[in-house]
Amino acid sequence: MYLEPRGDVRLPTFQTVDFRVDKSFTVVGRMRVVASMDIFNLLNGHTTLPMPGGQSASTANTVSSLLAPRVVWFGARVTW
């Protein structure tokens, strides 16, 4: 059973902030190492993404998914 016509109720808009830092080092001769760090969802918003449009006994007032939590990645790239 649909509660309201599609598109009448919208979730609030949201913004995410991603951040990247990298630094390159020359190790031996022409060998270079680039160390990097990426942070996704820096402000750690837990925004509701989609919600089901209809309601039944199994989906009553449920949230389908949330924005992923803050994630930090470390990496290195070696060139020679």
Contacts of 14-22 spanning 24+ positions with Cβ under 8 A? 14/45, 14/47, 14/67, 15/45, 16/40, 16/41, 16/42, 16/43, 16/45, 16/67, 17/41, 17/42, 17/43, 18/42
Instruction: Write the pLDDT tens digit of every residue in 56-67.
Output: 666 666 767 777
Instruction: Write the pLDDT tens digit of every residue in 21-75.
Output: 999 999 998 999 999 999 998 888 777 776 666 666 666 667 677 778 889 999 9
pTM of the model: 0.64
Q: Which helix (H) or strand (E) holds 25?
A: strand 19-26
The pLDDT score that the predictor gives to residue 12 is 73
